[in-house]
Structure 1
Amino acid sequence: MRQFLYALVTGIFGAVLLHIIIILGVPHFTGQDAYTRVTQEGPPFVFHALGSRPDKTGLAGLDPFLKVAVCHFDITRQPLSLVAAGDGVDFWSVGIFDQDGNEVYSMNDRTSVAGDLDMLVATPVQVAQLRKTPIAALAETILVEHRGTAGYVVLRALAAQESAGPEAQAFLKDAECLPFTGR
């Protein structure tokens, strides 16, 4: 009887563990994880606006009150500069994600400097180099340390009323996601 219970408990534990591994591994093996889908939107270092209906990769901005754009990047050679003027938009937020879809950093217009997006995403080595030789133009820039070299940015703008839609779209259109050139 003891051996039967041991075999039963071991079998149940093994089945649960196997199911968890399969569920967590499916996005990796199917190529349908968030990072892969964002890279299929278009070239890197460009914000790609998401529509209200899923596109060819399955991405969509489904919230009718938020306009959304995504940008993927690789900071192996140089940091990423994120810049957007927040005037004219009631609320915006930005999230930086690594290749695995883990959020590295997020902020919104309430926690930014003067309501504008001015951020630099860099590897730890690049951050150390920037701090060693400070650039005056980066005095109010938010410096974000990214442990990996690739990832994606999600930029959202609130359009609570239909009349606010054009301002939110303009905010996303004018936003920059470019390699840092050292202003």
Structure 2
Amino acid sequence: MSKFLYAIITGIIGAALLHIIIILGVPHFTGRDAYTRVTSEGAPFVFHPLSARPDAVGLASLDPYLRVAVCHFDIERQPLSLVALGEGVDFWSVALYDRDANEVFSMNDRTSVAGDLDVLVATPVQVAQLRKTPIAALAETILVEHPGTEGYVVLRVLAPQASYEPEARAFLANAECLPFTGR
């Protein structure tokens, strides 16, 4: 009887583990994960604004008070520079994700230098190289170590009323998500 009970318990635990693995693996195998959706928005190193209605790949800015743009990148060859002037907007936030949609870094205008977005995203090796030979222009730039080479950025700006709309759209339109050139 104990062998039969052991077999049933082992089967139940095995089935539970298998179901968990399948549920967690579905986005990876279907190509409908966040990274794949963001890369479907268009070219890398460009902020792509999202509208209130889901687009062809299902991305949307669902919060009526936020305007959102996404940018995907590959920093294998050179770091990524994220720059935007915070003038005229009351609140903005940025979040950096790896290819698996794990948040690597986030900040907002309250935690930035002078209210502007100025972030350099680099691999651990690139960060070490940048620290060996500091560049004066990067004195106030926030340096973020990214664990992999691919990922995406989500930039949000607050627009709680129609009068905030022009500044919010201008902020996203002028934001840069470009390979770092060394300034």
TM category, shorter:
over 0.9
Structure 2 counterpart of 1:172: 172
Over the matched positions of the two proteins, sequence identity in percent amounts to: 80
Structure 2 counterpart of 1:21: 21
Tell me, in whole angstroms, the C-alpha distance in 2 between the residues paired with 1:170 and 1:4: 68
Following TM superposition, by how much is the alpha carbon of 1:162 offset from its aligned partner in structure 2, in angstroms? Answer: 2.0
Moved over 4 A (4+): none
Structure 2 counterpart of 1:58: 58
Q: Which runs of 5+ in 2 are unaligned?
A: none
Structure 1 counterpart of 2:136: 136
Structure 2 counterpart of 1:45: 45
Tell me, in whole angstroms, the C-alpha distance in 1 between the residues paired with 2:7 and 2:129: 58
SS in 1 for 2:56: coil
- Matched ranges for 1:155-166 at <5 A: 155-166=155-166
Following TM superposition, by how much is the alpha carbon of 1:3 offset from its aligned partner in structure 2, in angstroms? Answer: 2.0
Structure 2 counterpart of 1:108: 108
SS in 2 for 1:143: strand
Tell me, in whole angstroms, the C-alpha distance in 1 between the residues paired with 2:31 and 2:163: 38
Give the TM-score, by structure 2 length: 0.98
Following TM superposition, by how much is the alpha carbon of 1:68 offset from its aligned partner in structure 2, in angstroms? Answer: 0.4
Following TM superposition, by how much is the alpha carbon of 1:115 offset from its aligned partner in structure 2, in angstroms? Answer: 0.3
SS in 1 for 2:126: helix
Give me the CA root mean square deviation: 0.7
Q: Which runs of 5+ in 1 are unaligned?
A: none
Tell me, in whole angstroms, the C-alpha distance in 2 between the residues paired with 1:133 and 1:82: 20
